[in-house]
Amino acid sequence: GIQVEQSPPDLILQEGANSTLRCNFSDSVNNLQWFHQNPWGQLINLFYIPSGTKQNGRLSATTVATERYSLLYISSSQTTDSGVYFCAVEDYGQNFVFGPGTRLSVLP
Amino acid sequence: DTEVTQTPKHLVMGMTNKKSLKCEQHMGHRAMYWYKQKAKKPPELMFVYSYEKLSINESVPSRFSPECPNSSLLNLHLHALQPEDSALYLCASSQDSWTGGLNEQFFGPGTRLTVL
């Protein structure tokens, strides 16, 4: 099945810093999403981005489907950005696979 | 409305109990999913229902039994669980990828299950 990798596994930032999270996947995908999981377990949709670039406030994402990777940019990070960021892909058989996640801690 | 609801929020059960988890969405989505998430791990897909028919079963033990009574509801029936089944159970829904259109998944808040 499709493999998904994320880097870095852990990231500690000072408030106000910028960061880039990466997601690599092993095969062509029908769908790619970025999620933020808060401490209570809720998965919050950040981007639905099978290809191209999108921006939403301080967050932006780029997926280069032909090269099988996606990037999530967080600018001017805040303590509320802390949590786990997951990339999830869907293959062409409705099978959704999550990457292992990047655990982000933003310090005041 | 992009809300998926799940009940209960927390559940503690013994190994001989029978219980059910419930999930509901009113977005008109035709695909619904169950995931299991252990601590510090990513969610793992368990089941997919597409147009109320089970389309994916990721080799889940038979002590987990899914049911999709209609396009808005998804249940997960639990029986004779083991302590290692303790986890966060997440429900999600999406438009359905077979239509070729947008298939963004939306997740419920989860049910935190503890098996004693």
Query: What's the pLDDT band for A95 if we cut at 50, 70, 90?
Result: confident
d(CA A33, CA B73): 24
B37 interfacial to chain A (CB closer than 8 Å): yes
Q: How far apart are CA A95 and CA A52, in angstroms?
A: 22
CA angle B50, B28, B67 (to 5 degrees): 40
B chain contacts of residue A40, beta-carbon cutoff 8 Å: 109
Q: What is the pLDDT of residue B43?
A: 97
Instruction: Report the pLDDT value the prediction gives residue A6, as an integer from 0 to 100.
Output: 98
Interface residue A85 vs chain B (CB under 8 A): no
Confidence of residue B24 (pLDDT cuts 50, 70, 90): very high
Question: Measured between alpha carbons, how far is residue A91 from residues A5, A31, A96 in Å?
Answer: 15, 7, 7
pLDDT band at residue A27 under the 50/70/90 scheme: very high
Average pLDDT over residues A11-31: 95
Q: Is the pLDDT of residue A8 over 70?
A: yes
Rounded to the nearest angstrom, the minimum Cα separation between B83 and chain A is 20
pLDDT at B23: 98
Q: What is the pLDDT of residues A40-65, one digit of tens each?
A: 899 999 999 999 999 999 999 999 99
Chain A residue with minimum CA distance to B109: A42
Instruction: State yes or no: pLDDT of B1 exceeds 80.
Output: no
